[in-house]
Structure 1
């Protein structure tokens, strides 16, 4: 299953990149995040493997995230690059996913965030979930982006909004 979602954020791209990269900010906008801890490497850097635990309602997901592409880590590179890319793969029981993130300057104070996502499932139950609920994955991806936008633009913390 593949899909792309996008959102405009009313902030300069440099600020958006810094907020997305900051592990201390992640729980404020990544709804359902229980744990994100590096197993090897430095958080957010190319090749880093991290343990990820997410809780969505009564469903708990545990997987390993690997950063497979990361460009423009340096502020000067972010300012001059036409697009900032960062990609990751997540592997969990019965599931493999890849997200290819693109951040483009849509204006001097606006950033376009495009997220291309791909999922592959194994095992009867996970294949069934992928067939029956494909829209749920797209909806969740868009929710994470909307939560980030609310956090970045207004300081909205999902932990306060959901409690």
Structure 2
């Protein structure tokens, strides 16, 4: 299965990349993420592996992320492996007029076993989840900047 989703973020490209490229921010926009830990390699760099644990419903889903390319803003690509699912996500960021950024993800999935049935029955659920992460990142990024500006205007840190 292949699909692309995108959103427009009301922030300049540099600020979006700064927020995206900080793994400490994942918890603010990846709904269900309960743990993110480095396994090997230099965190955030090609070849690095991390373990992600998501709470979905009443169960935990563990996956391994391997970063395969990092040339921000043009590309940040990773593979994500979990039981019965192999996923490649290519993230791209493009500066657009109005000091805004277009955030695009290209998604590719392979399924095995029971997950083939789930993907066949509910193919739209994967695309909806990918779009939700983009929209949640947009909300986090735009709200983070608004909150920071309010703090700076009030003279507090």
Tell me the TM-score range normalised by the shorter chain. Answer: 0.7 to 0.9
Shift of 1:43: 2.1
Partner of 1:141: 130
Q: Residues of 1 paired with 2:32 and 2:138: CA distance?
A: 16
Partner of residue 82, structure 2:
92
Listed one character per residue, the Cα deviations across residues 78-124 of structure 1 (whole Å, up to 9, x for unaligned) are: xxxxx52110001111110000111011125100011000110111x
Long gaps (5+) in structure 1: 73-82, 157-163
Count of matched residue pairs: 145
Q: TM-score when scaled to structure 2?
A: 0.87
For residues 102 and 25 of structure 1, the distance between their equivalents in structure 2, rounded to whole angstroms, comes to 18
| 2:100 aligned with 1:110 | yes
Q: What is the match of residue 151 of structure 2?
A: none
Give the C-alpha shift of residue 154 in structure 1.
1.2
Match of 2:119 in 1: 130
Which whole-Å CA distance do the structure 1 matches of 2:119 and 2:59 have between them?
15
* Matching residue of 1:78: none
Query: Where do 1:10-159 residues align within 5 Å?
Result: 10-72=10-72, 84-107=74-97, 109-123=99-113, 125-155=114-144
Distance 2:87 2:5 in 1: 15
RMSD: 1.4
Q: Find the structure with the greater CA-based Rg.
A: 2
Aligned to 1:160: none
Distance in 1, matches of 2:58 and 2:122, equals 16
**Runs of 5+ consecutive residues of structure 2 not aligned to the other structure:** 146-157
